[in-house]
Chains A and B, each alone.
Chain A
Amino acid sequence: MKKVEETMQTLVAYVENKPGVLNRVSSLARRLAINIDSLTVGPTENEEIARMTIVAHTDEKGAHRLEASLEKLVDVLLAENISNRSILERDLALIKVLADQKNRPHLMELIKVFRARVVDVAPESLILEVSGTVDKIDGLLEVLRPFGVLEMARTGRIAMTRGGDLLRPPVANEPEVSANSENRAGTTVTN
């Protein structure tokens, strides 16, 4: 499990929020023979731009190629491998778990420990909502399994660099410079 995590690379991309872009991004990964572990996409504060978090099963070299190739797509405004930066990662899960009168109290204890929330209550089951790192959700899942997990839905990871390390979509006519601090002087080129 640990070893697999080591080869997971996290990329953030800003893309045009329009039909077909997700297809271009996923098709590109397929063409490069890079396996996507999770890909989340959602709108940003600017409705014309969507933000993607791509977790790919590849090494650093593969991530560079994916990042550079993504930026060649006309509809991709920016792509950045943030695996080696200080980042916050979150996954959200809804878990429907078997809960009868007998085990419900025990279940509630665990839910508290994992800071999950009960969002739906039925006579024979509960739906829990939990967010956090992949490890945390996997951990909760592990302890819930003996009770009987009936259904689960996960969003896949979203990620953001911490603190002042900003990764914002470029604005028209106002070219933004790479946040990577070692790149300071040189020439630029557009594709």
Chain B
Amino acid sequence: MKLTGAEILCESLTRLGVKHIFGYPGGAILPVYDALGKSKLHHVLVRHEQGATHMADGYARASGEVGCAMATSGPGATNMVTGIATAMLDSSPVVCITGQVSSKVLGSDAFQEIDITGITMPITKHNVVVTRAEDIARTVREAFLIAASGRPGPVLVDITKDAQQASCEFDWDASAPKLPPKRQRINYDQAEFDRAVELLNSAKRPLILAGHGIIVSGAMKAFEQFVRAGNYPVAMTLLGIGCFPAKDSLNLGMMGMHGEAWVNNAIQESDLLIAVGMRFDDRVTGDLRTYAKNARKIHIEIDRAEINKNVPVDAALVGDAREVLEKLTPHIKTRDHGVWLRHIQESKGDSAVRDIQSLPDNGHLYAAHVINDIWKETRGEAIVVTDVGQHQMWEAQYYHHNLPRTLITSGGLGTMGFALPAAIGVKFAKPDAEVWVVVGDGGFQMTMSELATIVQEKINIKIAIINNGFLGMVRQWQEFFYDKRYVATPLVAPDFAALANAFGIRGERISTRNEVIPAIRVARQSNETVLFDFRVEQEDSVYPMVAAGASLHDMIRRPDSPLVETATEP
């Protein structure tokens, strides 16, 4: 059967199981769009190509399947760069397809020609230029395979216009992936494994550092069995949230810069850290010279390049989290850490003083109230997509996730503007799920044009703008470290409710605490998108905080203030 390159691409994507493509047309990708129109693929027209990549990323994170974004050459492709880097830093499987000028004019600075494979080389797992229709099917299949396998990541396929237009014989079976042969490494030897077991069984104060790798690997069950076998307390990275239920008493919560105080202290006091699918990012370790000085370390990680990168470890088990955990669990003999667990529990009670959630209503609306109320009203069952900044940290602190893939957030790159487009992708991945966007007034203004995409696609998500009139996290740093010199952080915003109305979306402004729950209830009843402009306390800060480069136990705590009097039990 003879097909054009464009038709082959659409046929290949269909056979690879793609249902939705997030994209934006243009000259160099037009043949593909023409073929798209004749295919069964659903195309979501975005308002900016950055949005397309975030949507594909959100789709991938919520479903565990490969997300697919599409753009034209030149500016279309360069607009994808931020989204590709976001996916790269958080190991999200995304395939980006870009149009390219005809192979005959490649390198001639033709209209809308840009070397997008050169640009994206360091921010993709792999990328490739295709100049012949014959190569399209195989290359796209390889792209999906690479994106999803091992430690996942984004792959970009740049297809020249003449390759899209040319016709050739289409033979699916003959175009199976043909990746270069790889040396199969032996990931760890018996001695290394025995060393890990010995460490596990001799620890008095063990602590698990649970990361994104558990979710990516689908290791939740194996992880739970491992935790139960050793009765280990669990600390979460931001992206690890959801890999183990928040309601479980062994789940301590989030670690790191804005982690719970009892978690960070436990890390510093521990004598064995069991790191699973996490990479000792500087945001979770603080100063490496003082990090967990008394702890031996076991690192379970699929990416060999992460071993000993930031923190030297005593036993490194390279491999898929599920496989390694399943091997380890039967060897666990010790599970009596009663003293240690009680010790952590006691410090937990002490730290609850920072909890402004349990304060009586004094007219102030805090972000914590809003997020905690959303948690309560949704019974912790919604998928929450956050942006980056204070609200993101409050979400991690006040929305308690029991299920994996229910917190979707940009961790590694910290991309503002991520939330709204990513949530659209999430909704396509999980059409029956309740999807909430928690976003700041700064980040929302970066990609709010995607409201039009929501309307055009008639999708139903709930948007909670945590509006404090500042670029809040930067303001907080200015408050703490720059003598409150608020340079370039006070932020003018439009009337978000009116803005939503202009898009044809219901919008509401909420300024007091007693309005929050009724508003959430009404929104949840609606089967359309609703946007809330929550006007929260302007100069609230996220506590505790480990200053960049400070020791993990050196936390800035919420100061005593009339707003924080006595805390009740959490």
Residue ranges of A at the interface with B (Cβ–Cβ < 8 Å): 16, 20, 23-24, 27-28, 31, 61, 64-65, 68-69, 71-75, 77-78, 169-178, 180, 182-191
Contacts and interface: CB of A to CB of B under 8 A. Distances in A.
Nearest to A66: B305
Contacts of A173: 181
B188 A187 contact: yes
Nearest to A190: B182
A170 B185 CA distance: 11
A175 B307 CA distance: 23
Nearest to A74: B126
Contacts of A180: 186
A170 B122 contact: no
B323 interface: yes
Given A173-B181, A177-B186, 9 more contacts: A71-B182, A72-B151, A72-B303, A172-B181, A183-B185, A183-B186, A186-B192, A189-B302, A190-B182
A174 to B, nearest CB: 8
5 contacts: A77-B180, A177-B184, A182-B189, A187-B327, A191-B303
A178 B187 CA distance: 10
B149 interface: yes
A135 B307 CA distance: 34
B293 interface: no
Contact of A77 (B122, B183, B189, B320): B183
Contact of B187 (A27, A64, A189): A189
A68 B305 contact: yes
> Residue among A68, A171, A173 with the most chain B CB within 10 A?
A68
Nearest to B118: A23
Contacts of B302: 189
Nearest to A65: B305
B179 interface: yes
A188 B188 contact: no
A105 B415 CA distance: 70
Given A64-B308, A72-B303, A184-B186, A189 B181 contact: no
Contacts of A169: 181
B83 to A, nearest CB: 19
Contacts of A174: 181
Contact of A176 (B149, B184, B319): B184
Q: Which 10 A-B pairs have the closest CB atoms?
A: A175-B184, A68-B305, A191-B150, A183-B186, A78-B183, A172-B181, A68-B304, A170-B183, A74-B126, A188-B184
Contacts of A24: 121
Nearest to B178: A172
A74 B181 contact: no
A41 B181 CA distance: 19
Given A27-B121, A72-B303, A77-B180, A188 B185 contact: yes
B309 interface: yes
B187 A187 contact: yes
A186 B187 contact: yes
B189 A185 contact: yes
B189 A183 contact: yes
Nearest to A171: B181
B318 interface: yes
A107 B82 CA distance: 61
Interface of B: 117-118, 121-122, 125-126, 146, 149-151, 179-193, 302-305, 307-309, 318-320, 323-324, 327
A182 B191 CA distance: 9
Given A27-B121, A69-B305, A170 B182 contact: yes
Given A65-B309, A72-B305, A191-B150, A77 B182 contact: yes
Given A23-B121, A61-B308, A190 B186 contact: no
Contacts of A16: 180
Given A71-B183, A171-B181, A189 B318 contact: yes
A189 B319 contact: yes
Given A68-B304, A68-B307, A74 B179 contact: yes
A77 B309 contact: no
A174 B181 CA distance: 8
Nearest to A80: B183
B88 to A, nearest CB: 12
B248 to A, nearest CB: 28
A172 B178 CA distance: 9
A171 B184 CA distance: 11
Contact of A27 (B122, B180, B304): B122
B190 A75 contact: no
Nearest to A16: B180
A183 B192 CA distance: 9
Contact of B319 (A64, A75, A182, A187): A187
B121 A187 contact: no
A189 B306 CA distance: 15
B189 A184 contact: yes
A5 to B, nearest CB: 24
B139 to A, nearest CB: 11
A77 B230 CA distance: 39
Given A183-B189, A189-B302, A178 B183 contact: yes
Given A27-B122, A31-B122, A186 B190 contact: yes
A171 B56 CA distance: 35
Contacts of A187: 186-188, 319, 323-324, 327
Contacts of B184: 170, 175-177, 188, 190
B186 A188 contact: yes
A64 B309 CA distance: 9
Contacts of A175: 181-184
Nearest to A188: B184
B189 A190 contact: no
Nearest to B151: A191
Contacts of A31: 122
Nearest to B184: A175
